[in-house]
Structure 1
Amino acid sequence: MTFRTLDDAAKANGGLAGKTALVRVDFNVPMEGGKVTDDTRLRVALPTIQRLRDAGARVALLAHFDRPKGKVVPAMSLQPVVDDLERLLGAPVRFASDCVGEEAKAMIADLDIGGVVLLENVRFHAGEEANAPDFAAQLAELGDLYVNDAFSAAHRAHASTEGLARLLPAYAGESMRRELDALDAALGNPQKPVLGIVGGSKVSSKLDLLQNLVGKLDRLAIGGGMANTFLHAQGVDVGGSLCEKDLADTARAILAEAEAKGCEILLPIDVVIATDVKPGAETRTVLAREPIGDDEKILDAGPLTVEKLIKAMALSRTLIWNGPLGVFEVPPFDAATVKAARAAAQLAKAGALVAVAGGGDTVAALHHAGVADDMTFVSTAGGAFLEWMEGKPLPGVEALRRA
């Protein structure tokens, strides 16, 4: 492990007992009417919080909620999170109305060993997103060590994700460690052969991703609306389908680079088309190179394509997946994504495939297929997961690297 973890923290400077740990968590949870509607991100933080409590540390939680743009916005307070966190943790959680200053200091000083306090939204201060040194220093005054357990915010160089990590002994929390381990297994030091699946609507949003992956993968399957751009670039008539025709040269360049680097590109060999994107729409399946009507749209990969993809999975030891194969939100255009997801999950459960997936649509698609819990690892980190796949350094992660 190239990053400092809580194992290191437990061995450093007399251990964790009696220390105050400033823990960056992601509590940017869905809310409605002042109530948390999905507590997944709270649950993800529990192992780190509990490990620190068990070791005799005091825990001060740093988090953001929404985008208050450096101003105090009462509707964006983290206070509504407290009751749910107490319920999940099975222990009291105090709340400080600011994340810096005398009240925060006093509340932390008043905590019992193993006590937990949630500090108010760090984004109420303009210094957070500006990564202002003086604001990071104010945060650092509150604790003895820093723990980042918010991989989903690690692509931002903010005071609570990067600046603070430069001022205190800094470690990866349990959730962060799991994420880094999984991503290392998927792209850093994977078992080969490695298969990637990249879907979604537009090539333009995933150019950096595709260019990075063709140099790392043995096979890359391209699906969703972005596959239409590649088919068009090869002279295929895609009718009225979503297609970025101005990126045809770019698509051809990616295909050429993949060939030069020994990465086999898998494009749809058959497709499901319809004139309307609506539940239960009348569809027909055609070979990808067959001409289609101007009013027809490619909305899913066909069964031959899925069969070829599943065979590629069986030949692989590692799978990294970002993006659906079709308009999975609207049945029947979910068929390819669901069948491929279930095949990947079956291989992962059998220990034949390390299957790592991430990105908002991907997570939703895996839940839709009923297999999110059967994959080796599913990242909910969104932008941070995508930037990692693009090969970009993440400031909040880099700050945790061993010297």
Structure 2
Amino acid sequence: MVPQLEDLGDVRGKTVLVRTDFNVPMSGPDDARIIVDDFRIRAALPTINWLIERGAKVVCASHLGRPKGTPNRKYSMDPIRKRLTEFAPGVELLENLRFNAGEETNDQDFVRELVDGVDLYVNDAFGAAHRSHASIVGPPKTLPSAAGRLLQREVEVLSELRNQPKRPLVAVLGGAKISDKIGVIEALSNVVDSFVIGGGMCFTFLAAKSLPIGDSLCEADQISFCKQLLQSKVQIHLPEDIVGVDKDGNFATFGVRLPDGAKGLDIGPGSAAAFADIIMGARSVFWNGPMGMFEDDRFAAGTRTVAQAMSETQGVHGGWWW
């Protein structure tokens, strides 16, 4: 069993470092970034509020984007800190963990810096829990530690789906980055009957199949991982049409071969309908991540269709959206 908040004992008067995942979608110029969707901040509130209500001092820590180990105003936590203060006054938020190169290399000096003056550690960053980063694997070695409510829920859902799934079991995965889903994929790859892949991560899979993806998001360092998964026994459902913008920025619909300069930003209507049919035919469904850039209404249809299918299916649901 993963230790839970209750296992920390009396937290009154203690400083608790909470590793959150506040890697929220942002827009605007580098010096005036705006939060597009604050779901990930709100998702951490059950853990934060539980600690505050019991007299703890809460210090949150998160990454945002990929600043590559150096401070970058584009990835400053300032807008997130302001929003967090609205939800939970008095809670501190450290600057972007990835401004320090030691975060991604699990540098022990950076670990000591993080835990200095801290009494307890809570990991509530499900999307980053698989990473061997300083803020994930370092503090539990020296501090009493527990899973936050969000991480606890996801572990329970995954355990249930892995151990006693009702079949067919389908995992619907979206979001921008495959690297954020590796832990989920590895946990479910030998259990699910099929994966349904949408969101920005689908373009790395399409690239792995040697299909042209224009200027769509692609994690080149994850193409080999995608190829391995495509060659495995598990069935992979990828989009057959894409919605996005052409090279001139105009709204457009494409097949799976995107022209130069085009950018895919949502699954197409045909793919959304096909994915909905797969979900409706499943007895267990795990959903993690949107099907497109849902914060722009032009590219929200795929996510809405999947959400509607999830609400109508009689199967067991698990996971959290983004």
The farther-off stretch of 126-135 and 191-200 is: 191-200
How many Å separate the matches in 1 of 2:121 and 2:311? 36
Q: Percent identity?
A: 35
CA 1:228–1:331 in 2, change beyond 3 Å: closer, same or farther? farther
Native 8 Å contact 1:300 1:325 kept in 2: no
1:286-317 per-position Cα deviation (integer Å, ceiling 9, x unaligned): xxxxxxxxxxxxx95859x957963x545532
Q: Does residue 1:317 correspond to 2:308, yes or no?
A: no
* TM-score, normalisation: structure 1: 0.54
Native 8 Å contact 1:26 1:153 kept in 2: yes
> Residue 43 of structure 1 aligns with which residue?
42
Shift of 1:151: 1.8
CA 1:354–1:18 in 2, change beyond 3 Å: closer, same or farther? same
2:19 pairs, out of 4, 7, 24, with 24
Q: Does residue 1:133 correspond to 2:95, yes or no?
A: no
> Residue 389 of structure 1 aligns with which residue?
none
> Residue 355 of structure 1 aligns with which residue?
317
Q: What is the aligned-residue RMSD (CA, Å)?
A: 5.2
Q: Which amino acid aligns with 1:121?
A: N
Q: Which has the larger radius of gyration?
A: 1
Shift of 1:186: 3.9
> Residue 83 of structure 2 aligns with which residue?
84
Q: Does residue 1:378 correspond to 2:294, yes or no?
A: no
1:69-103 per-position Cα deviation (integer Å, ceiling 9, x unaligned): 444445644344333222122x3x3xxxxxxxxxx
Gaps of at least 5 residues in structure 2 are: 214-223, 256-266
Gaps of at least 5 residues in structure 1 are: 94-115, 233-239, 284-298, 357-376, 381-403
Structure 2 SS opposite 1:60: strand
Structure 2 SS opposite 1:87: helix
Instruction: Summarize the alignment of residues 256-335 of structure 1 with structure 2, pairs less than 5 Å apart.
Output: 258=233, 306=273, 310=277, 313-321=279-287
CA 1:56–1:67 in 2, change beyond 3 Å: closer, same or farther? same
Q: Does residue 1:59 correspond to 2:25, yes or no?
A: no
Shift of 1:322: 6.6
Shift of 1:169: 1.0
Q: Which amino acid aligns with 2:16?
A: A
Shift of 1:150: 1.6
Q: Which amino acid aligns with 1:354?
A: V
Q: Which amino acid aligns with 1:342?
A: Q
Shift of 1:226: 9.4
Shift of 1:147: 0.7
How many Å separate the matches in 1 of 2:251 and 2:188? 34
Structure 2 SS opposite 1:378: coil
Shift of 1:184: 3.0
Shift of 1:54: 0.7
Shift of 1:52: 0.5
> Residue 151 of structure 1 aligns with which residue?
126
1:131-181 per-position Cα deviation (integer Å, ceiling 9, x unaligned): 112221232222111011222222321211111221111111122222323
Aligned length: 293
CA 1:315–1:171 in 2, change beyond 3 Å: closer, same or farther? same
